[in-house]
Amino acid sequence: MGAECGLIEEIMTIGDIMAIVAAVFAVIWTLSTSTVLIALIAPSRVQIGVNLLVSERKTIIKRGIVLAVTALFSVTIFHLATAPLAKLILTVLIVTLGGFALYGSAVIATIISSRLTEGDAAIHKIRSLYYSALLCLIAAFAPIIGWLLIAPSLLVVSLGAGSLLVWPVDRKPIAAQSELIVQKTVLS
């Protein structure tokens, strides 16, 4: 019936499946390494993000939802756009949102890393940071639960945390906000 309609039936070979698995591993490795690098390059900013994630949860989730919907809308429009200028603008927007998400994932990985090292002091900081980034990404790539629950929640929180580091809630400098948050944490 497929040949009568002019459709050609394609069969996936083992090579196709191996290529897909290799691509998934490459994406996980690249994202986890990038997360660790951001956490190591800007540790003070990431620590400010950790403090903000503890104190500004609702703001982070609200921003994350708005930015996730923006990203979804941008990707959808990108596929429909035909003008090169529109594609360029949408590409810049998508890459910017990806940068926010990567910055926020460094914050999440730092939180998980600190909890990993609480239980076992023998784990090196960089190793625990890498393990925590891998843990987040592998959980997000897990079928069904990862795709429908973990990945969207990680994306929302990382977009919100990353955007909050770039655009603070108040217009005060981020260092002043960090000092206030540390004071609130110490007092409570």
Amino acid, single-letter form, for residue 94: I
Give, in order, the Cα–Cα distances in Å from 12 to each of 17, 20, 68, 142, 180: 7, 11, 33, 22, 57
CB atoms within 10 A of CB 49: 28
CA distances, 167 to each of 17, 22, 38, 155, 173 (Å): 42, 36, 18, 18, 10
Q: Tens of pLDDT along the chain (188 residues)? A: 445 555 666 788 888 889 999 999 999 999 999 999 999 999 999 999 999 888 889 999 999 999 999 999 988 888 888 888 988 998 899 999 999 999 999 999 999 999 888 877 777 888 999 999 999 999 999 999 999 999 999 999 999 999 988 887 765 555 555 555 544 444 44
pLDDT digits (tens, 9 = 90+) for 158-181: 999 999 888 877 655 555 555 555
Cα–Cα distance measured from residue 67 to residue 104, given in angstroms and rounded to the nearest whole number: 12
Which residue from 140, 141, 133 is spatially nearest to 116, judged by alpha carbons?
133
How many angstroms from the chain centroid is the CA of residue 91? 17
